[in-house]
Structure 1
Amino acid sequence: MATFLGSVFLLIAGYIIYSKAVEKIFGINDQNPTPAYQHSDGLDFVPISWWKGSLIQLLNIAGLGPIFGAVSGALYGPVAFIWIVIGCIFAGAVHDYFSGMMSLRHNGEQFPALVGRYIGPAMKKFINLFSIVLMILVAAAFTAGPAQLISSITPLSFMAALVLVFAYFILAAVLPVNKIIGKIYPLLGAILIFMAAAIGIALLFSNKQIPNLTLKNLHPAELPVWPLLMVTISCGAISGFHSTQSPIVARTLKKESEGRKVFFGAMIGEGIIALIWAAAGMTFFGGTNGLQEALAAGGPAGAVNEISQSLLGTLGGILAILGVIILPITTGDTALRSSRMMLTEVLASVMDTNGKWKVLLITIAVGVPTFYLSTIDYSFLWRYVGWTNQVVATVMLWTGTMYLLKQGKFHWICGLPALFMTAVVSSYIFYAPEGFQLSYQTSMVIGSVISTVVISWYIVQIYKHRNLQNNSGDTKAA
């Protein structure tokens, strides 16, 4: 129990202390007009209060991610607490802050446009496609599950429920951000917080002992912690999906100082939610062996439902059903909205994208493949979401690093987690079942080689920008 409570304390301390350091390095100025006012369009650029923005951001980035991912990651034992705390403070929250604030500084630009600015047009083209594919995969993966549950508790067939969910998706993607998202999401965000807090409190006062820290890998199947844990628990530690969601809220902020509360704060909140569910997973079923049996029997949804009903009774059952239906839907709809915004930026260079009908047509263009993918096997989709998600996170961290390098600021706050995540994704894809399925040793060697190449590139960039800044200083002095 001490490890769990200590982890919660560290996350809160991380927000109080480290978020201010990150904000200071970034450098805010409330005199700068924000995109919400500069580009007000009544659709995406609409001023919203920071507290609503925080709850919208939390719901956008969270959904079922910090619940299902954390419960699955709990199979590794208390070592999952370490990854959630360190990953959330020094990687995930930094990633979210820079993705949101850089968008704010650049007229509400989407993630691929930011990549193009700071890493180059070739990477922008790659990440445009990669990000839109991720958004479609996420929207599809978070549609089938709710539709199946709706069809099981109502007279609707699976296809009817799917059509119903997608009708809502289209509406949420094309209506002004303050109509559905701005009105409903703060309430749903509050429900997500209440659900996690209720589980956490019930767990603390139950007769079950939350395990304390051990570095031993407790996974029943003896799967390696590195790099699998870092992909299994993404939401709650670091998730590239967040960099596609932050621009949605960045286009609504009234001033730059709100960014720390909205972007850094929401990520810390998600980390606490992940801690609670990781603790519940490794505690409720009597250890990781019991958790593995529960996951094999009913998957993460079944495990969450059993935990909720047992700890909270009828209320828990209601919350579990609400969570499994509503939370993934709120992730899917903003994923579709993000893909619409990204495709709009791509098409803006070759055609006029203004007008309600064009917005609807672009939404349908990304909605059709999403709908098709939602009809195939959910587990197949989810396998590819994990690695794709963390690649996007890695690229966003490198984008933040290059931004700080060009600004002549302390770039290591993005550079070090970027190097870490580069090693994660480089080794994971060669070992994972959805990847090349090479031996563990071979995968680690290849990952190390790729990481060494990237470190060399980073060092070159450091010296390159240092020389540019020195030459610029000499020119000004002359």
Structure 2
Amino acid sequence: MSAIILLVLGLGTMFLGYYFYSRFIAEKIYRVDDSRPTPAHTMEDGIDFVPTNKFVLWGHHFTSVAGAAPIVGPAIAVIWGWLPAFLWVTLGTVFFAGVHDFGAIWASVRNRAKSVGALTGDVVGKRARAIFMIVIFLVLLMVNAVFGVVIAGLLINNPSSVVPVWGAIVVAFIIGQAIYRFKLNLGLVSLLGVVALYYLIYIGPSVPVSLPPDVLGLAPNAVWILLLFAYAAIASLLPVWMLLQPRDYINGLQLFVGLILLYVSVLISNPTIVAPMYNTDVPAGTPSLIPLLFVTIACGAISGFHGLVSSGTTSKQLNTERDGRFVGYFGAIGEGALALATIIAASAGFASLAEWKTVYHSFGQGGVNAFIQGGGAILHAGTGISTEISATMLTVMAALFAGTTMDTGLRLQRYIFQEWGEIYDVKWLGKAFPATALSVITCLILAFGAGGASGSGGLIIWPLFGTTNQLLAGLTLLVIAVMLVRQKSPTIYITAPLTFVLVMTLAALLLQLKEFYLKQNWFLLGLDIIVLIAAILVTLECISALRREKRAAALVSS
């Protein structure tokens, strides 16, 4: 089967979803109203609250939510066959992710740009807020610690990517100055920025950078992790317009250029999908397709982390309510397009089924390496770009998006600590520097405390990321549903996806509970129990609030 068929069907479905379904959700369900001033205007401070051009904000939002997850998840899930992954990515993007991301922005903007955790206290209750914020903290801890490890591994395995990855930070800083300080034309600045990024990718292979095997007693992996967190701490404290926003924006443009090249290469080379449509011969130890598919592919279909970004940084920069449709829903479309490209690369980027099976010899294999290997082969066949530069381009793409997610994730973790400071009246915790320091320290404790000198401890709790992340998505949808009842909007377009997500997530948590017990992995078993109890308690609180609001609405109408 030709990969072109997947490309056309996938992108076509997403385009129709944005053009028709997102407009219906905006006008009939969320009822966006541009006459209502957004917090970016009413609370403008030049640091976190900044009214932003919707195209620039889309770049920030999209690259913050994308990260490496829409590459890793789909590239692993292809082991069950390309069809289940393709269906979940395309339909999940249209009916789940877009509604969730757009809704989280809308809900936050309507409530002084509060994060979804703090918002839960107002909409549902204080008990739900306390439990919900613990779940949020765990998700952010996993994302930040693991992405630090992932980026470090990419830099070590691909020395040609070091100069482009770190050079992109300098390019982003210059772009921020050009747009906001010197008011230069956005189109011209964007063009020059993309050219600069791709020039860095071009020269990357000629100036590879590798750290010595021992730096003050630390392995290269540990050194990169420390440098990444030092950078992320600084980036999280700077005004969003100075580095975070332009970095995300220019990375978003870079990704779309990369995606266009990859998709054009598919059209030119017309690769054949060698992976099975539905794999009936999965390797031993591979878990069942249902429910694990729906937590393995999180970003790229629906992801709770997106709600944190939507209500954490994006809502503070939204210029008008109507911009939320473009930024949130179309941001989900962008990530779906990346996940679709990953499925094509991991299904059609290999010479034969035998070669594909060599990569997918056990569950968890594939991931970023399958995307780089398969995508690089397709790029080379379609454009003639050397395999080395193709691999560097895709490696940089993965590293840059993991980095932008880590930037935003650490800033969001800082917000959580600051919100705790406000909730429990701990004044010093409400300040930016102590909150940032605690965010970095907790991530490093996980990375080095659980992983030793290598700093790989974040990977220990990664098996729980998918379930915890999807749980967060379901709970965010519950909060949105309660708000819709209050404004007397239909809720079925929210309650249908949230029911599906919660059922699949709880089933996955129970399966993992059994697996951790059989393997006697007591740390993950205990953490799984905590997440499971938190899920049940918050779900019950939200359902109670939903019923309460419906009864109140019925009394008013009668």
TM-score of the alignment, normalized to the shorter chain, above 0.5: yes
1:423 equivalent to 2:503? Answer: yes
In structure 2, relative to structure 1, the CA distance for the partners of 1:372 and 1:353 (3 Å cut) is: closer
Q: Unaligned stretches of 5+ in structure 1?
A: 439-450
Counterparts of residues 354-373 of structure 1 (less than 5 Å):
358-373=431-446
* Partner residue of 1:104 out of 100, 109, 132: 109
**Would you say the 8 A contact 2:124–2:541 is kept in 1?**
no
1:403 counterpart residue number: 483
Q: SS at the partner of 1:205?
A: helix
1:57 equivalent to 2:61? Answer: yes
Q: SS at the partner of 1:346?
A: helix
**Would you say the 8 A contact 1:3–1:212 is kept in 2?**
no
Q: 1:117 deviation in Å? A: 2.2
**Would you say the 8 A contact 2:7–2:263 is kept in 1?**
no
After TM superposition, the score normalised by the length of structure 1 is 0.89
The one-letter amino acid of 2:122's match is: R
Q: SS at the partner of 2:269?
A: coil
Percent of paired sites with the same residue: 25
After TM superposition, the score normalised by the length of structure 2 is 0.77
Q: 1:214 deviation in Å? A: 5.3
Q: CA RMSD in A?
A: 2.9
In structure 2, relative to structure 1, the CA distance for the partners of 1:341 and 1:458 (3 Å cut) is: closer
Q: 1:320 deviation in Å? A: 2.2
Q: 1:129 deviation in Å? A: 1.3
In 2: Cα distance, 1:287 partner to 1:98 partner: 43
- Which sits farther off after the overlay, 308-317 or 227-236? 308-317
Q: SS at the partner of 2:495?
A: helix
1:279 equivalent to 2:344? Answer: yes
2:299 counterpart residue number: 235
2:17 counterpart residue number: 14
**Would you say the 8 A contact 1:227–1:428 is kept in 2?**
yes
Counterparts of residues 86-105 of structure 1 (less than 5 Å):
86-105=91-110
- Which sits farther off after the overlay, 295-304 or 375-384? 295-304
Q: Residue by residue, what CA displacement relative to the aligned partner does 1:109-160 show, whole Å, maximum 9, x if unpaired?
A: 0110122222221111011111012101100000012223334533423232
**Would you say the 8 A contact 2:485–2:546 is kept in 1?**
yes
Counterparts of residues 108-123 of structure 1 (less than 5 Å):
108-123=113-128
**Would you say the 8 A contact 2:39–2:316 is kept in 1?**
yes
- Which sits farther off after the overlay, 397-406 or 172-181? 397-406
The one-letter amino acid of 1:365's match is: L
1:224 counterpart residue number: 288
1:137 equivalent to 2:127? Answer: no
Q: 1:267 deviation in Å? A: 0.2
- Which sits farther off after the overlay, 319-328 or 107-116? 319-328
* Partner residue of 2:72 out of 53, 68, 71: 68
**Would you say the 8 A contact 1:100–1:259 is kept in 2?**
yes
In 2: Cα distance, 1:233 partner to 1:368 partner: 29
Q: Residue by residue, what CA displacement relative to the aligned partner does 1:190-228 show, whole Å, maximum 9, x if unpaired?
A: 112222222222123325223799567664456422111
In 1: Cα distance, 2:292 partner to 2:111 partner: 35
Q: Unaligned stretches of 5+ in structure 2?
A: 160-208, 212-219, 380-385, 448-454, 519-534
* Partner residue of 2:390 out of 285, 293, 316: 316
Q: 1:452 deviation in Å? A: 12
Q: 1:422 deviation in Å? A: 1.1
**Would you say the 8 A contact 1:220–1:289 is kept in 2?**
no
Q: Residue by residue, what CA displacement relative to the aligned partner does 1:218-248 show, whole Å, maximum 9, x if unpaired?
A: 6445642211110111111000010111120
2:216 counterpart residue number: none
* Partner residue of 1:258 out of 323, 339, 359: 323
The one-letter amino acid of 1:133's match is: L
2:152 counterpart residue number: 147
**Would you say the 8 A contact 2:80–2:278 is kept in 1?**
no
**Would you say the 8 A contact 1:220–1:292 is kept in 2?**
no
Q: Residue by residue, what CA displacement relative to the aligned partner does 1:77-98 show, whole Å, maximum 9, x if unpaired?
A: 2121111112111111111111
**Would you say the 8 A contact 1:70–1:278 is kept in 2?**
yes
**Would you say the 8 A contact 2:57–2:317 is kept in 1?**
yes
**Would you say the 8 A contact 2:345–2:378 is kept in 1?**
no
1:304 equivalent to 2:304? Answer: no
Q: Residue by residue, what CA displacement relative to the aligned partner does 1:310-357 show, whole Å, maximum 9, x if unpaired?
A: 2233431221231243221111111111011121112113044699xx
1:39 counterpart residue number: 43
1:442 counterpart residue number: none
The one-letter amino acid of 2:501's match is: M
In 2: Cα distance, 1:82 partner to 1:53 partner: 29
Q: Residue by residue, what CA displacement relative to the aligned partner does 1:53-100 show, whole Å, maximum 9, x if unpaired?
A: 111111000011111111111222212111111211111111111111
